[in-house]
């Protein structure tokens, strides 16, 4: 009888470990990373309400500021391979973004964006802590900035909900290094707000960044995608 109890206890223990192990594997294998930015998801985040803006040139001329909150963010996407997990995409984002753009009726003459990348968050806190001292080294270089290098021609003002696609040149400062970059940007005027999404491929070495290292990380690509979703509201 004693042996049978020991055997039963052993079976229960093995079963419990298997369940826990399966749960742990699910946690590691699941990917909570959000999808890449898109106008569709951006518009869903702000809703479809309109404040009556007509989109006429004279109403759009002036300064526009980034709307603070969940609707505006910047971040990264980097492909990595984790031990026991395999290939996955690391995605980190921060909503600590400030910025403005200026429109003169024919073109966007100025865009300046500042992001606090020390507040980047992904689905793994270990990753977030690692990039504070590796790669981005955001403890040392907490601010990333973008400044428009040349005006963006928009002579024909789009109507409400009409998508505009542009390639935008500017100066990106990251990891204390400033480089010329080109951003693929889509924008739309929706509900009296300007909604922009875009991305650019960034090589770590161009900005003096080394690839991050960790025991669980088997490999990390030498480049990643900088992406953003920015909602602007016209200043009074």
pLDDT digits (tens, 9 = 90+) for 182-231: 999 999 999 889 999 999 999 999 999 998 777 777 788 899 999 999 99
| Euclidean distance between CA atoms 230 and 236, whole angstroms | 19
Examine the pLDDT at 75 and tell me if it is beyond 60.
yes
Q: What is the 3-state secondary structure (H, E, C) of 17-85?
A: HHHHHHHHHHHHHCCCCCCCCCHHHHHHHHCCCCCCCCCCHHHHCEEEEECCCCCCEEEEEEEEEECCC
**Collapsed DSSP state (helix, strand, coil) of residue 101:** strand
Per residue in 88-139, pLDDT (tens digit) is 899 999 999 999 999 999 999 999 999 999 999 999 898 899 999 999 999 9
Q: Cβ(146)–Cβ(111) under 8 Å?
A: yes
Q: What is the DSSP code string of 103-166?
A: E-SSEEEEEEEEEEGGG-B-S-HHHHHHTTTSTT-TTT--EEEEEESS-EE--SPPPTT--EEE
Q: How far apart are CA 130 and CA 149, in angstroms?
A: 32
- State the pLDDT at residue 80: 84
Residue 50 is predicted with a pLDDT of 42
* pTM, entire model: 0.81
Over the stretch 138-197, which tens digit does the pLDDT of each residue have?
999 999 999 999 999 997 888 889 999 999 999 999 999 999 999 999 999 998 899 999
- CA–CA dist 171, 139 (Å, integer): 22
Helix, strand or coil, per DSSP, at residue 12: helix
């Amino acid at each position: 009888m004693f042996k049978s109890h020991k055997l039963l206890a052993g079976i229960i223990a093995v079963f419990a470990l298997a369940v826990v192990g399966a749960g742990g594997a699910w946690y590691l294998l699941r990917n909570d990373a959000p999808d890449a930015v898109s106008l569709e998801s951006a518009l869903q985040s702000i809703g479809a309400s309109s404040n009556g803006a007509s989109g006429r040139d004279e109403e759009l001329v002036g300064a526009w500021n980034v709307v603070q909150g969940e609707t505006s963010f910047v971040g990264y996407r980097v492909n990595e391979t984790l031990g026991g997990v395999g290939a996955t995409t690391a995605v980190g984002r921060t909503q600590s973004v400030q910025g403005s753009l200026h429109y003169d009726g024919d073109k966007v003459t100025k865009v300046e964006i500042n992001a606090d990348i020390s507040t980047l968050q992904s689905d793994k806190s270990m990753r977030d802590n690692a990039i504070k001292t590796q790669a981005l080294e955001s403890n040392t270089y907490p601010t990333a900035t973008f400044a428009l290098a040349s005006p963006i021609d928009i002579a024909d003002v789009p109507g409400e909900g009409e998508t505009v696609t542009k390639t935008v040149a500017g100066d990106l400062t990251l990891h204390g290094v400033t480089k010329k970059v080109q951003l693929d940007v889509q924008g739309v005027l929706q509900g009296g707000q300007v909604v922009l999404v875009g991305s650019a491929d960034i090589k770590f070495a161009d900005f003096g960044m080394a690839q991050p290292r960790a025991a669980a990380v088997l490999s990390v690509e030498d480049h990643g995608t900088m992406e953003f979703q920015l909602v602007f509201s016209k200043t009074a």
